[in-house]
Amino acid sequence: MNPDIVRKVIEAALLASGKPLSIDKLMHLFAEGDFQPEKDDLRKALTEISEDCANRGIELKEIASGFRLQVREDMAPWVSRLWEEKPQRYTRALLETLALIAYRQPATRGEIENVRGVAVSSNIIKTLTEREWIKVVGHRDVPGKPSMYGTTKEFLDYFNLKSLDELPSLAELRDFETINAELDLQLPGLEMPEQESPEQEAIDSENTETAEVTQDAEAVDADTGDDVNVDEPAEKVN
């Protein structure tokens, strides 16, 4: 099979799939009896596609789940006009919770509350879980067996990361308003997580004292996991 055909097949598949494709999935595009390209042939074709996109409005990006063709970030101000409704902004509380899980994982809800100084809204954990950005990866061996949360491949895919090693250092993190602006360009039909209202954030702050009292109790609810040592080293979960 002509290398140009291999490249065209890959391009067509990436456009048609609507989701990332790994090298193995791309290999399956070539059925038995057809010319079977080697994985090196596919990687070469992917490199050529990436180079061709260098001066275009789209790019080939390798992320955790494989490769995908996507709109370049600097095209967001124009492309976002395709959708009449502007996406909701992520709340600071949600972004802080997600960041703590990403950098300290596995992390319990109690550890997150200890760092943020306020109770974590159940709606935030629910939203992150439903989006499949976080998942329960185990339970801390303390009274109450609180759930430990870690990030997922979907989290890496959404934020254009191939692995957790590509997370910026904490010193490189910018303000959350800048992050929100960069996340304005969403995939068609992708709903934004429900925004936590100012009233809910006020309730969370008022619940801080209650959360501190709960941390001192011997019986710890498995969902809150307040009685944990926040200084316990965390391992990254891929």
**pLDDT values of the chain reduced to their tens digit, one per residue, 238 residues:** 677 889 999 999 999 998 899 999 999 888 766 678 888 999 999 999 999 998 999 999 999 999 999 999 889 889 888 877 766 677 889 988 999 999 999 999 999 999 988 999 999 999 999 999 999 999 999 999 999 999 999 999 988 899 999 888 766 665 555 555 555 443 333 333 344 444 444 444 444 444 443 444 333 343 434 443 434 444 444 4
Q: Where in the chain is the domain with CATH 1.10.10.10?
A: 3-71, 92-215
**According to the model, what pLDDT value does residue 111 have?**
93
Neighbours of 25 (CB within 10 A): 15
Q: Please, are residues 17 and 50 in contact by the beta-carbon 8 Å criterion?
A: no
The CA distance from 4 to 91, in Å, is: 46
The CA distance from 187 to 80, in Å, is: 10
The CA distance from 230 to 211, in Å, is: 15
**According to the model, what pLDDT value does residue 225 have?**
40
Query: pTM of this prediction?
Result: 0.63
**According to the model, what pLDDT value does residue 175 have?**
56
**According to the model, what pLDDT value does residue 61 have?**
93
Q: Please, are residues 222 and 106 in contact by the beta-carbon 8 Å criterion?
A: no
The CA distance from 12 to 5, in Å, is: 10
As a CATH number, domain 92-215 is 1.10.10.10
**According to the model, what pLDDT value does residue 177 have?**
54
Both tokens of residue 41?
């042939």
As a CATH number, domain 3-71 is 1.10.10.10
**According to the model, what pLDDT value does residue 30 have?**
86
Neighbours of 81 (CB within 10 A): 9
**According to the model, what pLDDT value does residue 98 have?**
93
Nearest to 46 by CA among 35, 61, 56: 61
Amino acid (one-letter) located at 4: D
Nearest to 73 by CA among 159, 15, 10: 159
**According to the model, what pLDDT value does residue 139 have?**
94
Residue-by-residue DSSP string for 220-231 = --TTT--SS-TT
List the alpha helices (DSSP H) in 35-173: 39-52, 76-79, 92-104, 109-116, 122-130, 153-158
